[in-house]
Structure 1
Amino acid sequence: MGRILIRKFLETLGFVLFITFISFLFIRMAPGDPVLTILNVDELSVSQEQVEALREEMGFNQPLLVQYGQWLLDFVRLDFGQSYVTGQPVMKMIMGGLPATLELTGGALVIMLLIALPLGSLSALYRNSWIDHMSRLLSIIGAAVPSFWLGLILIDLFGVRLGWLPTMGRDGWISLLLPSLTLGLAISSVYVRLLRSSLLDSLGQEFVRAARARGYSELRIFWVHALRHSLPPVITVFGVSLGSLIGGVVVIEVLFAYPGIGKLVVDSIRQRDYPLIQGYILVMAAIVFVVNTLVDLSYRYLNPEMKLKERKTG
C-alpha cells in the first residue's frame, strides 16, 4: 500500500505541475484584461497611465514564465493569493463554497446509486425481459438528454408549474433535491449499462456455477459473489469520469444558482479573476487525486487477485 501511495503522489505532483502551467498559460492568453476589471473602466474614467501602473504593480508586464514561477513559489509557501474582485483570500472563498458543492455531488451520487444499482441488477438478472428492455431504453434516453436541458424541464415542472420545490439558492435540504436529481439522472445512465454488462459477465463465471453446485441461494450468489466481482470496472469508470462529474456540477450550479465553487469559478472566469481560477484548478486536482487513490486502494478489497499478485511480486 505504501508503494501505491508513493507512486500516486509522484504521478499527481507531475500532473499538478503540468495542469497548473497549462492553465496558467491559457488563462492569460484568453481575451480580456483583469486590470480593466479591477479599475472598473466601464463606470469610471481611467487614464492609460493608471492602467499601466496597476499592470506593472501586479506583475503582468513580466514574461509568463516569470509570472508562473512567482505563482509557484507562493503556492509552495501555501499562499494562493487574493481575489482581484473581492480582495478576499482565494482559499477562504473556495472553502466557503466547497461544502455546497460536496453536498450537491453527494446528493447526485446517492440518486445515481438508487437508480443504477436496482436497474442494472434487475436488467442483468432478467436478461431480455421487459425490465431489461425498459432499463436499456431509459439509459439511452438519459445519455442522449443534456443535463442542462433536463434541469430546465425539472425546473419548469416542479418549480414553476407545480410549485413543489425551490429552483434557486441553497436553503436547506429541500433546495438540494432538484439539482441533485438533475445531476443524478444525467450520470446514472452510464452506470446502468456498465453494471448490467459487468454483472452478466460475472454471472457467467466458473465461481458462480461452483457456488450454485454447492447449493448456495441465488440471493447469496448475487450479493456475495457476482456483485462484488462486477464492481471494479464500475469503480474504474467512476474514477476516470470524475472530471465529467465535476464539469456537470459546474453546469448545474449555474443553472440552479447554487452557491458552490462551480458557480464561483464561472463568475471568476467572466471577471478574469486569475488567482481564483488557479485555486479552483488546484482544489479539483487534489480531489481527483484523493478519489483515484481511494479507487486504487478499493481494488485490494474488491479484487483478491491483486493481493495475490502483490505477494508474488513482493
Structure 2
Amino acid sequence: MFRILFRRLIEVVIFLLLITFMSFLFVRLAPGDPVLTILNVDELSVSQEQVEQLREDMGFNQPLLTQYGNWLMDFFRLDFGSSYVTGQPVIEIVKASFPATLELTAGSLIVMLIIAIPLGSLSALYRNSWIDQISRLLSIIGSAVPSFWLGLILIDIFGVRLSLFPTMGRDGWDSLILPSLTLGLAISGVYVRLLRSSLLDSLGQEFVRAARSRGISEIRIFFAHAFRHSLSPVITVFGISLGSLIGGVVVVEVLFAYPGVGKVVVDAIRQRDYPLIQGYILMMGLIVFVVNTCVDLSYRYLNPSIRLHERKVN
C-alpha cells in the first residue's frame, strides 16, 4: 500500500505541472481580451492608453512563460488569484458554489444507482426475457437522448404543465429533483448495459459453479459472489467517465440556472475571467485524479486475486 501511495504522489506532482501549464496555455490562447471585458469597451469610451495601462498592471505585457511562472508560484502558495470581474478570491467563489454542484452530482448518482442496479441485475438474472428486452431498450434510449433535451422535456412536463417542481434556482430539496433526474437518467443507460454484461460474465465463472456445487443458495451466490465480482469493470468505467459526468453537470446547471461551479465557470468563460477558469480546470482535474486513485485502490477490496498476487510478488 505504501508503495502504491508513493507512486501516486509522484504521479500527482507530474499531473499538477501538466494540467497547470495546459490550462494556463489554452486559456491564454482563447479568443477575447479580458482587459477589454473589464473596461467594458462596448458601452464606455476608453482610450488606448487606459487599455495598455491596465494590461501592464495585470502583467499581460510580459512573456507567456513569465506569466505562467508567476501564476505557478502563487499556486504553490495556495493563492489562486482573484476574479477579474468581482474581485473576490477564486477559492472563495469555488467554495461558495461547490456545495450546490456536490449536491447535484450526488443526487444524479443516486438516481443512476436506483435505475442501473435493479435493471442491470434483472436483465442478467432473466436473460433474453421480456424484462431483459425492456431494460435494454430503456438503456439504449437513455444513452441516445441528450441531457439538455431530456431536461427541457422534464421542465415542460413536471415544471410547466404539472407545476410539481421548480425549474430554476436552488431553493429547497425539491429544486434538486429535476436536475438530478435529468443527469441521472442520461448516464444510467450506460451502467445498465455494463452491469448486465459484467454480471453475465461473473455468473459463468468457475467460482460460481463451485459455490453451486457446495449447495449455496442462488441469492447468496448472486449478492455475495457474482455481484461483488462484477463491480470492478463498472467502477473502472465510472472513473474513466467522470469527466463526462462533470461536463453533464455543467450543462444541467446552466439549463436549470442551478448556482453550482459549472454555471459559475460558464459565466467566467463568457467574461474572460482567467483566474476563475484556471481554478475550475485545476479543481476538476484534481477531483478526477483523486477519484481514479480511489478506483485503483478499491480493486484490492473488490478483487481478492489482486491482494493474492501482491503477496506472491512480495
TM-score by length of 2: 0.99
1:59 lines up with 2:59 in the alignment: yes
Which string of whole-angstrom CA distances, capped at 9 and with x for unpartnered residues, describes residues 189-229 of structure 1? 00000000000000001111111111111110000000001
Give the CA deviation at 1:123.
0.1
Corresponding position of 1:233: 233
1:281 offset after TM fit, Å?
1.0
Between the two proteins, the alignment pairs up a number of residues equal to 314
Q: Distance in 2 between matches of 1:24 and 1:208?
A: 52
The equivalent of 1:191 in structure 2 is 191
In the alignment, the residues of structure 2 paired with residue 50 and residue 226 of structure 1 have an alpha-carbon distance, to the nearest angstrom, of: 69
Instruction: Mark the runs of 5 or more structure 2 residues left unpaired by the alignment.
Output: none
Report the CA distance between 1:252 and its aligned residue. Answer: 0.4
**Matches of 1:12 and 1:201 in 2, distance apart?**
34
Instruction: For 1:183, give the aligned amino acid.
Output: L
- Aligned position for 1:90: 90
Answering whether residue 211 of structure 2 is matched by residue 180 of structure 1, we say no
* Contact 1:98–1:260 (8 Å) recurs in 2: yes
Alpha-carbon separation, structure 2, partners of 1:105 and 1:312: 40
Q: How far, CA to CA, are the matches of 1:124 and 1:107 in structure 2?
A: 26
- 1:120-153 Cα distance to aligned partner (Å, 9 max, x none): 0000000000000011111111111100000000
- Aligned-pair identity in percent equals 79
Query: Which residue in the other structure is 1:143 paired with?
Result: 143
Q: Do the aligned partners of 1:239 and 1:291 also contact (CA within 8 Å) in 2?
A: yes
Between stretches 25-34 and 230-239, larger displacement belongs to 25-34
Q: Which moved more, 1:94-103 or 1:5-14?
A: 5-14
Query: Are residue 215 (structure 1) and residue 212 (structure 2) matched?
Result: no
Q: Which residue of 2 aligns with 1:133?
A: 133
Q: In the alignment, residue 237 of structure 2 is paired with which amino acid?
A: V
Structure 2 counterparts to residues 103-142 of structure 1, below 5 A: 103-142=103-142
**1:245 maps to which residue?**
245
Aligned to 1:293: 293
Provide, for residues 90-123 of structure 1, a one-character-per-residue CA deviation record: whole Å limited to 9, x for no partner.
Answer: 0000011100000000000000000000000000
Gaps of 5+ in 1: none
**Which amino acid is the alignment partner of residue 247 of structure 1?**
G
Tell me, in whole angstroms, the C-alpha distance in 2 between the residues paired with 1:152 and 1:17.
40
1:77 partner letter: R
- Tell me the SS of whatever aligns to 2:163: coil
The aligned residue for residue 308 of structure 1 is 308
Q: Deviations over 1:250-303 (max 9, x none)?
A: 000000000000000000000000000111111111211221121111111110
Separation in structure 2 between the aligned mates of residue 212 and residue 129 of structure 1, nearest angstrom: 23
1:73 positional shift: 0.6
Alpha-carbon distance in structure 2 between the residues aligned to 1:63 and 1:310:
49
What is the distance in 2 between the residues matched to 1:146 and 1:97?
Answer: 25
2: distance between equivalents of 1:10 and 1:175?
42
Matches of 2:234 and 2:8 in 1, distance apart? 20
Shift of residue 12, structure 1, vs aligned partner: 2.3
- Output the aligned Cα RMSD: 0.8
Q: Distance in 2 between matches of 1:56 and 1:2?
A: 48
For the 8 Å contact 1:170–1:259, the answer to whether it is kept is: yes
Distance 1:208 1:158 in 2: 45
Distance in 1 between the 2:292 and 2:6 partners? 13
- Partners of 2:299 and 2:116 in 1: CA distance: 21
Contact 1:5 1:293 survives alignment (8 Å): no
Is the partner of 1:198 in helix, strand or coil? helix
Q: Which amino acid aligns with 2:187?
A: I
The residue identity in structure 2 corresponding to 1:191 is: Y
Deviation at 1:43, TM superposition (A): 2.1
Q: Distance in 1 between matches of 2:11 and 2:186?
A: 30
Structure 1 runs, 4 residues or longer, greater than 4 Å off: none
